[in-house]
Structure 1
Amino acid sequence: MSTQYHGSCLCGKVKFIVPFANTNLSACHCHTCRKWSAGPLMTLTYSGEIVTQGQEYISHYNSSEWAERAFCKECGSHLYYHLKGTNNYYFATWIFDDIKDLEFTTEVFIDNKPSCYDFANHTHKLTEADILAMANGNSPKS
């Protein structure tokens, strides 16, 4: 069962309809995500092919050897984080206009989170070492 959400960038030139399998909200506290989004990056995960309207307005930035970040060339809205060589996308949650029934479940790179804020929600927390272990096919220690 999936929930289809309709999303767009700020100017509306890029549009998505994404059939999310779940509505689990995640936050990434890594340095790169915080620099990119001026705070933790809040995402919804999708695995599969994405259908986009306005593809010509999407620009990709290679933020690491394994990932790229997409944004609208016209308005600069952050769209998604994509793991290269996969169909795994982490969409910027708040680009979707009709989101509902979200559950904040996970925080990653929790050991990189600045001490000036904390979320009140009880979430599964993964460290940088946990994420790197998972990227290498191992189980996280947390």
Structure 2
Amino acid sequence: GDDLLLYFIEKGDTCAMTLSCCVKQGRSNIRAVAESDVELLMIPVSKMEDWMGKYRSWRAFILDSYHNRMQELLETVDTLAFMNMDERLLKYLRDKAMVNHDDVIHATHQEIAADLHTSRVVVSRLLKKMEREGKIDLQRSQIKVNSL
């Protein structure tokens, strides 16, 4: 039912949950959503295990990936626990702009609300406030982030 945005994955990154599921040969409880066109590389689990022992660079990549995702998960928990919704929304917009390398975000208020686990009305109200403060410019289904 309910979804919560955990983190963004950029070019060259991997998802720690995916790696964990591969090692356990289990099914994932998360879903990934592509923000743009994606080229995906899939590696057989048997190769992953073999490469961990054979290649230092592969092992470092996997361990760095776990570390980076854990840091992002801790940041997400911190954001949920200690930031007001307006701060969470601005952080979300900045993160999304950074990941997409574009200060214009193409999303509806409802899509943003779903990612932040709040209502569309709250998002719309806060976006209008941010526009008045000069932090963003609003247009239909797009938001330009002014303060990167």
Bin for the TM-score computed over the shorter chain: under 0.3
Structure (1 or 2) with the larger CA radius of gyration: 2
TM-score normalized with structure 2 length? 0.24
TM-score normalized with structure 1 length? 0.25
Greater percentage in strand: 1
Greater percentage in helix: 2
